[in-house]
A and B are shown apart, each in its own frame.
Chain A
Amino acid sequence: MTVELRDLEHIYPSGDIALAGVTLTLEGTDPVAIIGQNGAGKTTLVKHFNGILRPTSGSVLIDGVDVTSHTTAEWSRTVGYIFQNPDDQLFLESVRKEFGFGPKHIGMDSDVIEQRIGTVAELVGLSHKLDTHPFDLTPTEKKFCAIGAVLMMDPSVVIFDEPTCGQDRKGTARLSHIISSLRESGKLCVIISHDMKFVTMNCPRIVVLCHGTVLLDGPADEVFAQPDILRRSFITPPPITRVGQGAGLKETVFSVPAFINAIATERNARG
């Protein structure tokens, strides 16, 4: 699955320039993180991937097809979009019905729907809550219900808008699990997040947006090795990365084991 943006510009009716020419290609199955300060254009950018927003100029191609040639509803079978606030998405009387809503609308076979409900509920951890009313779920579970409702439609690209917002450690771990299993089944995940730790643990590729343009784009260790440029977008690397950089480690590390490993290697090299 390839998402290709060419000179994408978006200007809101109020005259605010949200995207000032973004050229970017997302492909393969490696999860991509989109980071940047508030107002950098992250949400505006991903809302073009399924045609919720239409480009002011430039184009968005999904596997070579111009996004403007279909409606958002038609794109929903290819590009899944999980909104930040699950309350905007959920409206039916049970988790099961929420899960079935999207697939029914895109004409999925009812046997397939039943089968998928089982696997998706397992994945998002709601197997024992399928007959619960979404409003009776905890905020965390609600978010996973919204995620499940989108994954039910089996889209090839899955966009997560701030998935870690309000999640505890368990929820974040489940999210990581969902993202890695989507990657294994050949899906492309695009994740907007302010949680640098989550981003570095889950996304091999990082795109930094700043004032509607791409500031940095590349593998996580390369992007976070440039703190001076990152500072322009008010992004600070995760604490352990900063400690590593402060201690003069050559390698950019994102976790404590990696940090210890890097220290050990450098010691050994020194002899």
Chain B
Amino acid sequence: MAVKITYANTPVSRLHPMTKIMAILMLGLCALVWPDFTLGLVLVIALFVVSFVARIPSDFVKIMFGFGIPVTVMLMFIQGLYSPKNQTVIADFGFAQLGLEGVLYAAKIVMDLLVFLGSFTIMSKTTYTGALVAALTSAGLNAKAGYLILASLNVVPQMQRRMSVIREAQNARGLSESGGLFSRLAAYVPLLGPVVMSSLTDAQERGMTLETRGFGITDVKQTSYVEVRWRTVDKVCNWVLVIMAVIVTAISVGIYIGVIPALTPWAGA
């Protein structure tokens, strides 16, 4: 059973892969340098909008909340209750007190993480890995390193598929995966051997195939079958991202050294 991956043709998927990588870096930088969580929050909301444009809202929401909720709970617990910065008590649980400063700090970390995670998710869900690697190699990355990235991105679904075939084969030999935790874990041992061994033989065979197709030839300029186009919209996006990052950094530095008054003092800048 083949796993089909299709990329909807949207303004986001049409962007050059390097633009999307640039977006991850610049948006992440903005969220990081900004003194409080407010800008991060704005960016996260913007990323939700982008996920709708990219037609991947359900995947995006799943990842963001699946990661966001547990991390928020954990950080709120640690920072909110036990941060040394805590001065203002906003709730008293008896065993510990919830401090405003810690909560705001936790919110800042969560938003920074979500900006990185969200932009990376949008990138990976809207970019064909072949195009990504083609873009990286044309930007000067070594073809071998490019292949390494491609292979490691492809190996995960491939191993999952193998794993399920092998699981079926072992079940058909009477291996039961039901029962207690221990018997479940024990049932994994027979699966691991074939998965690891077959992955190794796969890797060896793929290496040989690549060699027979001239992958190892040095001193030639390798061309790419996958073509990625750098369009005006990419140029604009990149400039906007860089300018935004510069402005945000400048303002943040200004706030830190006190030249500019905090724009959102209530957020704990």
The reply to whether the CB of B198 lies closer than 8 angstroms to some CB of chain A is yes
Q: Are B197 and A81 in contact (CB under 8 A)?
A: no
Knowing A88-B165, A91-B190, say if A83 contacts B4 (CB, 8 Å): no
Residues of A within 8 A of B193 (CB): 91-92
Residue of B nearest to A82 (CB): B172
Q: Are B175 and A105 in contact (CB under 8 A)?
A: yes
Q: Are A88 and B176 in contact (CB under 8 A)?
A: no
Instruction: Scan residues 208-255 of chain A and give those whose CB is less than 8 A from a CB of chain B.
Output: none
Residues of B within 8 A of A135 (CB): 197
Q: Are A52 and B168 in contact (CB under 8 A)?
A: yes
Segment of A22-30, A69-77, A112-120, A181-189 engaged in the interface with chain B: A69-77
**A8-36 to B contact mask, C-beta < 8 Å, 1/0:** 00001110100000000000000000000
Q: Are A52 and B172 in contact (CB under 8 A)?
A: yes
Given B2, B173, B178, which contacts A89 in the complex, CB threshold below 8 Å?
B173
When chains A and B are docked, how far (Å) is the Cα of A150 from the Cα of B190? 15
The reply to whether the CB of A45 lies closer than 8 angstroms to some CB of chain B is no
Residue of A nearest to B1 (CB): A12
Measured between C-beta atoms, what is the minimum distance from A177 to chain B in Å? Answer: 23
Residues of A within 8 A of B249 (CB): none
When chains A and B are docked, how far (Å) is the Cα of A87 from the Cα of B165? 11
Count, chain A residues at interface, CB 8 A? 32
Measured between C-beta atoms, what is the minimum distance from B193 to chain A in Å? Answer: 4
The reply to whether the CB of B217 lies closer than 8 angstroms to some CB of chain A is no
Q: Are A76 and B173 in contact (CB under 8 A)?
A: yes
Residues of B within 8 A of A156 (CB): none
Knowing A76-B171, A102-B173, A105-B173, say if A14 contacts B194 (CB, 8 Å): no
Residues of A within 8 A of B177 (CB): 73
When chains A and B are docked, how far (Å) is the Cα of A184 from the Cα of B243? 82
When chains A and B are docked, how far (Å) is the Cα of A73 from the Cα of B190? 14
Residues of B within 8 A of A105 (CB): 173-176
Measured between C-beta atoms, what is the minimum distance from A198 to chain B in Å? Answer: 23
When chains A and B are docked, how far (Å) is the Cα of A61 from the Cα of B4? 32
When chains A and B are docked, how far (Å) is the Cα of A102 from the Cα of B173? 5
The reply to whether the CB of A47 lies closer than 8 angstroms to some CB of chain B is yes
Q: Are A87 and B198 in contact (CB under 8 A)?
A: yes
Residues of B within 8 A of A72 (CB): 168, 171-172
When chains A and B are docked, how far (Å) is the Cα of A88 from the Cα of B173? 11
Q: Are A90 and B194 in contact (CB under 8 A)?
A: yes
The reply to whether the CB of A124 lies closer than 8 angstroms to some CB of chain B is no
Knowing A14-B2, A14-B3, say if A77 contacts B174 (CB, 8 Å): yes
Cβ-closest 5 pairs across A and B: A91-B193, A105-B174, A73-B176, A72-B171, A76-B174
Could you list some 24 contacts between A and B, CB below 8 A? A16-B1, A52-B172, A71-B171, A71-B178, A72-B172, A74-B176, A76-B174, A80-B172, A83-B165, A87-B197, A88-B166, A89-B169, A89-B173, A91-B194, A92-B190, A101-B174, A101-B190, A102-B174, A103-B174, A105-B173, A106-B174, A149-B173, A150-B173, A153-B174
